[in-house]
Amino acid sequence: MSEKHHIIPVWFFVGVLFLVYGVLILCSGLAEWLHPPNTVLAELHAPVWWGGLLIALGGTYCAMFRPGRSKS
């Protein structure tokens, strides 16, 4: 993003945020698998697949924009 300052790309921070949130939400979804919360459509286990999706997106962003990775 920055040619003058060599700042870590903002996309890397987005990746870190998604990765950490994905892990937390996936773990929380797995922990409540047998006893889902009292919410509508809890049987769909949204935290599990949503957490998984965040992990995939976050991991991809972290890998693609990690500090020190040269631009292709």
Site for other proteins, rule CB under 8 A: 1-5, 7-8, 10, 13-14, 16-18, 20-21, 24-25, 27-29, 32, 36-42, 44, 46-47, 50-51, 54
**Residue 10 near residue 53, CB atoms below 8 Å:** no
Q: Strand ranges (DSSP E) for 1-72?
A: none
Closest to other proteins by CB, 50 or 70: 50
State both tokens at 42: 């809890």
Closest to other proteins by CB, 67 or 70: 67
Distance, CA of 34 to CA of 53 (rounded, Å): 21
Closest separation in Å from C-beta 60 to other proteins: 13
